[in-house]
Amino acid sequence: MQHHQGAHADAALRIDEASGRFQVARSNYTDPSLHAAEMEAIFAKCWLFVGHESELPKPNDFVTRRVAGRPVIYLRDREGKVRCLLNVCPHRGAQVCRQKKGSAKLFSCIYHGWAFENSGRNINIAESETYHEQFNAPGSNAQLNDLVPVPRFESYRGLWFLNFDPGAVSLHDYLGNAREYIDIVMDQAELGMQVVGEMQEYSARANWKLLAENSTDILHVTTLHPTYLDLVKTNSAGTMVRGKVMGKSIDLGNGHAVVEREASYGRPIAKWMPMWGEEARVEIEAIYAKLVGRYGKERADRMSTCARNLLIFPNLVINDIMSVTLRTFQPTAVDYMEVSVWAIAPGEEFGKPALSRRLTNFLEFLGPGGFATPDDIEALESCQRAFAAHREAPWNDLSKGLGRKPDATDELPQRVFWLQWRDRLMQRAG
Amino acid sequence: MSLLAALTRPEAEDFLILEASLLNEWKLEAWRALFTEECRYLVPNTNGDPYASPESSLYLIADDGHHLTERVKRLNKKTAHAEYPRSRTRRLISNVRFLERGKAMVKVESSFITYRSAQGVTDTFFGRHEHCLVEQDGGLRIAEKRTILDMEALRPQGRLSIIV
C-alpha cells in the first residue's frame, strides 16, 4: 500500500524547470483511492485546526465538530482547561454528546448510560456490580473506561489544533515561519481576537485541495470577482479601483504559504473608505495611531494597508483581507468537502460601530451569501466537473512565476502546497 | 381605513406570491421595488439565534437598502458566475399568518420551500420568511425580510447565490 501511494504521488506532479512548467495531475482531485491515502498520510499526521479559544469562554462550555472525519468534543473543563476528546463512548461506541454546543459538567451516553466528567474521566458504568472487581479498579486498566483524548492538542495565539500522530513535531515547530503571519493578525487586537457570533457552515461539491489552492490565489480576483470589485468601486466613490497588485508570495515551509500585498479595499484595521463616513474616519485614525504606538509606524502600516492570505497546510486558511476570517475544510469524499468559517475581531471592537463595519466588510465578500465566495464555489465545482476529462486532458498548470521572485498573483502558494502534498504522500516530509 | 389596517390574510399571501413569482422569473429590479429604500434583507446564520443583531453577530446575508440594490445589480450581471448561466428556481409559499398587526407595520410569517436547479444538481432550501410590511405611496412595501433557514447548515447546497 505504501509503495502504491508513493508511486501514485510520483506521477502526481510533472515539473520541468527548464521550460518553466509545473503541472498537477487532475486525477489527484478525482481518484477515490486517494481520499483514504490522504486521510492516512496527511490528515492523520498534520496539525489540524479545531477551534478558537473564544468559542469556549466559560468552564464547561463545549462544542462538537468533526475533524478529519472524527467526531470530537472541544471543551473547557470544570477547571478551565481546554481539551479535545473523541466523542465516542468507550463502552459500545455511541457519541456521548449529540448537541452542537452548550455547557455541560458531564456527558452521559444515551445508549447504556455510561457517564463522564468533562475531563473525560468515567463516573458511571451501567450495572457496575456485575463486572469483574478489577474492571474499574484504580491501578488496573480503569482508564480504558474513560473518554479518549486526541493524541496531541496544542494552541498558538488562541488557535487550537489537534494532531492524531502522537510522535508529531510540536505545533510551534510545525507552524514555523507561519507564526510571524499569525502574529501580525493576532497583534492587531489589544484585547485579543475573538470569534464574532457563530461559524458559518457550508460545503462544496469539489475536492478539498481546490479550496486550499483557491484560498491563497490572488490571480483569480479580477476575473472571478468583478461584481465584488464593482461594489468596492461604488462604496469607495470610485477611489478604490483594482490596479496591479503590489505584493509578494512567500513559501513559509512545511507546506504553508502566504500572499501579502497592498489591499485594494477598506480595512477595519485601519484603512478608511468613504462609505464609512467621517465619524469612522476619526475612529480608524485613532485605531491606526494606537497601532503605531504599540508597534511603530512600519509594522502598523503593514497591518493596516496590507492584506494577507495565509494557508496553514493542509486545511486552515487565515485570511486577513477586508475582514479577518478563519476557514477550515474537511473532505468527506474525493469530490465533496464541508467548509466551516469564523469571523474574528479584536475584543475592543465588540459593542462598537467598528464591529458592524467589520461584519459588513465580511459579508460583502465572504461566506455563502457574499458577493464573491459563491463564485469561488462555482469555480471549484466547475473544475471538479471538468476533471472528469482527466484521462484525455490530464494536467492542471501552476507555472505562473516559476523561476523568478514571485509576486502576489504568481502561483507559488499553490506549488508549495502541492510539493508538500506529494512529500507527505510519499512520506518524505517530517 | 388604511391599507395596512384593512389587509387580510389572503391579501398578504397574494403579496408574497407576487414576490415569489418575480424572483422565479428573475425580475429582480421589480422585486427590489417591492422594498422600501432603507430596507433590510436578512438571512441569519444557520447556527445561533436567528434574531441576534447583525451588528454584532455573523449572518449569512445582512443587506441594508444599498447592499440589496447592489446585490440585484450583481445578480443581473453575467459576471455573477454562480448565477450565470442562471439557475432555475421555484418558490413555494405556504402557512401564511400574521405575527403582528401594528398601525405602521404588519409582520407576516410564511413557510417556504425553494428549489434551485443548475449544472446538473437540484438543491432544496426550506424555512420561514418574516416580512415586515409597511404602506408607502398607497401600496405595500417590505421594510424588512428575514429569511430563517431550517437546514442545520448550508450542506450540501453550499451557497446562497439566489434570493431564496
Q: Which of B159, B161, B162 should one mutate to test binding to chain A, selecting the residue with the greatest count of A CBs within 10 A? A: B159
For chain A, give the number of residues: 430
Q: Which residues of A211-228 are buried (b: 16+ CB within 10 A; e: fewer)?
A: bbbbbbbbbebeebbbbb
* CB contacts, 8 Å: B74 with chain A: 227, 230-231, 371
A168 or A427, which is more confident? A168
Q: For A362, which residue in chain B has the nearest alpha carbon?
A: B58
Question: Least CB-CB distance to A205: which of B67, B80, B156?
Answer: B156
CB atoms within 10 A of CB A339: 26
The answer to whether residue B154 neighbours chain A at the CB level (below 8 Å) is yes
The answer to whether residue B47 neighbours chain A at the CB level (below 8 Å) is yes
Summarised one tens digit per residue, pLDDT across range A17-44 is 999 999 999 999 999 999 999 999 999 9
Q: What are phi and psi of A185, to 5 degrees?
A: -80, -50
Angle, nearest 10°, between helix axes A2-10 and A412-425?
150
A273 or A179, which is more confident? A179
Summarised one tens digit per residue, pLDDT across range A344-396 is 999 999 999 999 999 999 999 999 999 999 999 999 999 999 999 999 999 99
Contact A425, A31 (CB under 8 A): no
- Pairing, β A395-397 against β B35-43: unpaired
* A192-196, A425-429, B8-12, B38-42: least confident range: A425-429
Q: Find the radius of gyration of the CA atoms of chain B.
A: 16
Summarised one tens digit per residue, pLDDT across range A233-290 is 999 888 888 888 899 999 999 999 999 999 989 999 989 988 899 999 999 999 999 9
What proportion of chain A, given as a percentage, has pLDDT over 70? Answer: 97
Interface confidence: ipTM more than 0.95? yes
Write down the pLDDT at residue A165.
98
Cβ of B74 within 8 Å of Cβ of A343? The answer is no
The answer to whether residue B77 neighbours chain A at the CB level (below 8 Å) is yes
Contact A214, A375 (CB under 8 A): no
Nearest alpha-carbon partner for A217 in A25, A51, A410: A410
Q: What is the pLDDT along chain B (164 residues), one digit of tens a residue?
A: 689 999 999 999 999 999 999 999 999 999 999 999 999 999 999 999 999 999 999 999 999 999 999 999 999 999 999 999 999 999 999 999 999 999 999 999 999 999 999 999 999 999 999 999 999 999 999 999 999 999 999 999 999 999 99
What's the whole-model pTM score? 0.96
Cβ of B155 within 8 Å of Cβ of A350? The answer is no
Question: Least CB-CB distance to A202: which of B54, B79, B154?
Answer: B154
Write down the pLDDT at residue A10.
61
Write down the pLDDT at residue A429.
62
Q: For B47, which residue in chain A has the nearest alpha carbon?
A: A198
Write down the pLDDT at residue A243.
83
Q: Find the radius of gyration of the CA atoms of chain A.
A: 23
In the chain, the amino acid numbered A208 is W
Q: How many CB pairs under 8 A join A and B?
A: 130
* CB contacts, 8 Å: B79 with chain A: 226-227
Q: Which of residues 109-128 of B touch A (CB under 8 A)?
A: 119-121
Alpha helices (runs of H) in A296-411, residue ranges in sequence order = 297-305, 353-365, 373-386
Write down the pLDDT at residue A5.
47
The pLDDT of residue A8 is above 80 = no
Nearest alpha-carbon partner for A257 in A118, A101, A410: A410
Write down the pLDDT at residue A1.
38
Cβ of B59 within 8 Å of Cβ of A234? The answer is no
Q: For B78, which residue in chain A has the nearest alpha carbon?
A: A227
Q: What is the mean pLDDT of residues A109-120?
A: 98
Distance CA(A1)–CA(A40), nearest Å, equals: 11
Cβ of A336 within 8 Å of Cβ of B156? The answer is yes
Q: What is the mean pLDDT of residues A293-298?
A: 96
Write down the pLDDT at residue A9.
58
Write down the pLDDT at residue A7.
45
Summarised one tens digit per residue, pLDDT across range A70-107 is 999 999 999 999 999 999 999 999 999 999 999 999 99
The answer to whether residue B4 neighbours chain A at the CB level (below 8 Å) is no
Q: For B121, which residue in chain A has the nearest alpha carbon?
A: A205
The pLDDT of residue A193 is above 70 = yes
